[in-house]
Amino acid sequence: MIASSSSQPSTPIVHPDGARLLADIGGTNARFALEFGPGRIELIDVLSCNDYPTLADAVRAYLATPAVAAAAPGAIRHAAIAIANPVVGDHVRMTNHHWEFSIEAMRQACGFDTLLVVNDFSALARALPHLGGQKRQVGGGAPLPDSPLGLLGAGTGLGVSGLVPCGSGWTALRSEGGHVSFSPADEVEVAILQYAWREFEHVSAERLLSGAGVELIYRALADRAGRPGDGLAAPEISRRALAGECALCDQVLEVFCGMLGTAAGNLAITLGAQGGVYIGGGIVPRLGERFAGSSFRRRFEQKGRFSAYLGKIPTYVITADYPAFLGVSAILAEKLSD
């Protein structure tokens, strides 16, 4: 699949050192694009990770695509990769895929002058100031200028980050906040936690606020209702709920959205995220108006004496198709300007 950016300046500004490679690597798909100049992110292609023995092989396959090779016939000098994994030091070993690599060895193998590899949620956090209209507000509140931003994203796991003003720029937090202990807020969630303890010694927020978490919530609620769970996968649970076919599935989504509201409120208070809290990941953007009408925002503000404080903080759903590209672009631009 190859696509181009829908909005380009009338007089395109190009990078003097040529096109730059941007990538967003998950456990299932590897997304690539070329950035020809500021705001000119084009030739987006999505490759299956399972089709390539190594990440370097996937990079070379993208660069060899006829459209890419024709658009950037010279060597690509600079590249930046966001990856769904902690990045500490030179060696990266993915937790949700078999790829592992040395950043420096891959830089040399691919012939890059510069290769940056960063955590995907650090990159997504850096994208937040550049989203423009590619977000949808849920509930009230207004951003306070020059304030921290919070970020949560539920998908395969639960990504957490934040963006803190730093001089004239921003600093993205390297957080593993998805692994904090889950905090129930009512009797139903206490019952779900007790059910989850049968399977896990430590029940993190990610155990419930993820695709696997949707399935766990379903099993727990089915058990609480005295009916056997039939092993539904998360996409089918969401489909049945959104189609109005299953009351239990609808309850699962409602519980999920409420739990996410509590987690987002906790993050807002922890970071003082008066610039807003953003929701990304693969699950929530697909829920559309069902999410807007859920208990998410009520639970976000449900913090007793701090309810008024949270009521002033806006919450947004990220609607951009490939927001991580905006973040790695900003990180690479800063690196090259130093």
Q: What is the mean pLDDT of residues 88-102?
A: 92
* Mean pLDDT of the 160-185 span: 91
pLDDT digits (tens, 9 = 90+) for 212-240: 999 999 999 999 999 877 889 999 999 99
Determine the pLDDT at residue 204. 97
The 3-state secondary structure of the chain reads CEECCCCCCCCCCCCCCCCEEEEEECCCEEEEEEEEECCEEEEEEEEEHHHCCCHHHHHHHHHCCHHHHHHCCCCCCEEEEEECCCCCCCEEECCCCCCEEEHHHHHHHHCCCEEEEEEHHHHHHHHHHHCCCCEEEECCCCCCCCCCEEEEEECCCEEEEEEEEECCEEEECCCCHHHCECCCCCHHHHHHHHHHCCCCCCCEHHHHCCHHHHHHHHHHHHHHCCCCCCCCCHHHHHHHHHCCCCHHHHHHHHHHHHHHHHHHHHHHHHHCCCCCEEEECCCHHHCCHHHHCCCHHHHHHCCHHHHHHHHCCCEEEECCCCHHHHHHHHHHHHHHHC
The model's pLDDT over 248-286, given as tens digits with 9 standing for 90+, comes to 999 999 999 999 999 999 999 999 999 999 999 889 999
On average, the pLDDT of the chain sits at 92
- Tell me how far apart the alpha carbons of residues 87 and 120 are, in angstroms, rounded to a whole number: 9
Confidence of residue 4 (pLDDT cuts 50, 70, 90): very low
Residue 2 has pLDDT above 60, yes or no: no
pLDDT at 238: 96
Q: Are 143 and 274 in contact (CB under 8 A)?
A: yes
Is the pLDDT at 99 greater than 50? The verdict is yes
* All domains in the chain, ordered by first residue: 2-125+322-337 (3.30.420.40), 135-319 (3.40.367.20)
**What interhelical angle do 234-242 and 247-271 show, nearest 10?**
110
3-state helix, strand, coil in the chain (%, to 5): 40, 25, 35
Asked whether the predicted pLDDT for residue 10 surpasses 80, the reply is: no
pLDDT tops 60 at residue 3: no
Write down the pLDDT at residue 8.
44
Check if the beta carbon of residue 134 is closer than 8 Å to that of residue 319.
Answer: yes
When pLDDT is cut at 50, 70 and 90, the band that residue 176 belongs to is confident
